[in-house]
Amino acid sequence: MNLNITNKAQDMPFSFILEELITGNIAKSPAKQNIYKKMKGVIAIDLPDIEAAVTLIFGQGKLTIEAGINGNPDIIIRTSYDLVMDLNMINIRWGLPYYFDEAGRRVLGHILSGRLKIKGMFSHTVLLTRLTIIMSVM
């Protein structure tokens, strides 16, 4: 399957980690492929501790990864590198992220403590849920 991913942030190693994670997860799951095809929106991930930020632009089965936070993203995820990787461990149950096991409670703890900030999480819940699904290794 051609995922149509363009990485324009090649000077940023984190962009390759995201690209490989998303590609690997989608390639293994027809359900994730269908979700990826439906995604439309702009998500920025900002990791100040490693001085890395990328913008993910989803649209009609395409993904473009750009360096920095570009434009006015629908969602901005701001955290440290080690905490953003916890998002990949969230289980998906009944088509939704599951926050009632150890991995889910850990992510909720990061949000409640302010170590993980997600701007737009309530106004763009569908986009955030879809991102969580395609990034989850579970």
Please work out, in degrees rounded to the nearest 5, the angle formed at the alpha carbon of residue 24 by the alpha carbons of 134 and 103.
50
Q: Using an 8 Å Cβ cutoff, are 36 and 134 in contact?
A: yes
State the average pLDDT over residues 59-87.
Answer: 92
What integer pLDDT is reported at residue 34 of this predicted model?
Answer: 93
We find that the CATH architecture of domain 5-135 is 2-Layer Sandwich (3.30)
What end-to-end distance do the CA atoms of the chain give, in Å? 21
What integer pLDDT is reported at residue 1 of this predicted model?
Answer: 59
The pLDDT tens digits of the residues spanning 85-127 come to 787 788 888 777 888 899 889 989 999 999 999 999 889 989 9
What integer pLDDT is reported at residue 35 of this predicted model?
Answer: 93
Sorted by where each begins, the domain ranges of the chain are 5-135
The pLDDT tens digits of the residues spanning 31-46 come to 999 999 999 999 999 9
pTM for this model (two decimals):
0.90
